[in-house]
Amino acid sequence: MKPQMNIVEPRRKSEIFLILYSLVFLFLFANAFAQTGKVSRNENKIPAEKSILVDAKINISMCVSEGKVKVNGWERNEIRAFVSEGSRVGFEVRKKNEQTKTPLWVEVVGFETANNKNSGAEECLSGKEIELDVPRNSTVDIKGSASETTINSVSRARVKYISGDIFLNNIAQGIEASTFEGDVTVENSSGAMNLTTTTGNIVAFNVNPKEIGDIFKSRTSSGAITLQQLEYGQTEANSNSGSIRFTGAVQNGGQYNFGTLNGSITLSIPQNSSGKLDATFGYGAFDSELPLKNVVKPNTSKTQSLTAMLGSGDSTLNLKTFSGAIRIKNSNRR
């Protein structure tokens, strides 16, 4: 019996070791696999926060997959990023200032850059709240999808979303914002504007050009466009089935092109407004509270239209609707 035991015991030992090694290997493999997939997640719901010193005129790009985004301009030459209940956060420097060696272009990513280089971690930030404090002179470029995005007090903003509302306030040198499902609201800003939404509304309030030649463009498919206190030389608003409302002064020499197929166009302008009016209202109606001069209505077409003069005709007003109404109201009466 004794020699038999000596033969069996080492075999059992080796089998046990083999099983243990296999288990350990499996555990490590599974853990590594889980790390690869979830490396950007903040498992303990501890907010992720990072900051980096940057150039004053920094370009910041970012991708967002979900969450409420807030970008706020501040006086420091520093970016602070904060994500709650979501991904981690990191900075990838794309370009540096040759002289000061400070970053000129930073990409804010959803993983810790020091630990996760080439790990395949998700680049897009996600979380309940994503907050960025950035230098005032920065250009912010965000794409992705978020529930709501607010950008405040930066130099330029470019936002391209699949869905989500966009609020832009106090943007100094221009905005390019588009969302396929959501509203776009711009306030107290200046520079060239290009606002687009497919199924949402567009609201612009107190928006001015920064330089001569800056254009304001807005387009929605099924939403309404409301413009108030705009001072652009060229203003364009187009909607497929929504209405367009413009309230404010008409700029001398300004060109206004408003068009919609199924909606109405309402201009609420001062009594002393001056412009050449070219209104096409198809199967709709036309009404003006302001006195029109030199009214010409072609009788040869079923498509209704008219040309007329407001005051001395210093601006150009091209208004087109297929089946809606065009109304020109006197804003001094209110």
Partner 1 sequence: MNDKCFDIGTIQAFLDGELAADVLEGVSHHVASCDDCAVFLAEAEEESAIAFSALDQEFNTLVPTQRLWTKINDSIQKEEKTFWQTVAAFFSNQTTVAFAGMLIVFSIFTAMINLESSDNAVDVTKNIPSDQSLAVPTVDLGIPVLPIKQDSPLAQNNKKTDIEKSALIASNKTDYRIIKTTFVKKEISPPRIVNSPKAKGQVSGPAPSENVPGEDSYIRTIATLKKTVDNQKDEVLKSSARFIFERDLAVSDDAIKKMKAQVRTNPNDEASKQILRASYQNKIDLLSSVADKTELMASLK
CA distance linking residue 99 with residue 307, whole number of Å = 59
CA distance linking residue 149 with residue 131, whole number of Å = 10
Q: Binding residue for partner 1 (CB under 8 A) from 86, 144, 248, 275?
A: 144
Q: Binding residue for partner 1 (CB under 8 A) from 234, 250, 320, 328?
A: 320
Contacts (CB under 8 A) with partner 1, residues 8-27:
none
Nearest CB to partner 1, comparing residues 42 and 126 = 126
Contacts (CB under 8 A) with partner 1, residues 112-131:
124
CA-to-CA dists, residue 322 to 89, 130, 148, 231, 308, angstroms: 50, 43, 33, 27, 19
CB of 283 to partner 1, least distance (A): 8
Under the criterion CB under 8 A, does residue 199 sit at the interface with partner 1? yes
DSSP characters over 31-53: HHHHHHHHTTB-TT-PPEEEEEE
Under the criterion CB under 8 A, does residue 158 sit at the interface with partner 1? no
Structure tokens at 140: 């912010």
Under the criterion CB under 8 A, does residue 300 sit at the interface with partner 1? yes
CA distance linking residue 221 with residue 244, whole number of Å = 12
Q: Binding residue for partner 1 (CB under 8 A) from 261, 285, 292, 325?
A: 261
Structure tokens at 226: 């409301």
Under the criterion CB under 8 A, does residue 176 sit at the interface with partner 1? no
Supply the Cα-derived Rg of the chain in whole angstroms.
30
- Applying CB under 8 A, the residues found at the interface with partner 1 are 63, 65, 124, 143-145, 160, 162, 178, 180-181, 196, 198-199, 219, 221-222, 238, 240-241, 259, 261-262, 280, 282-283, 298, 300-305, 320, 322-323
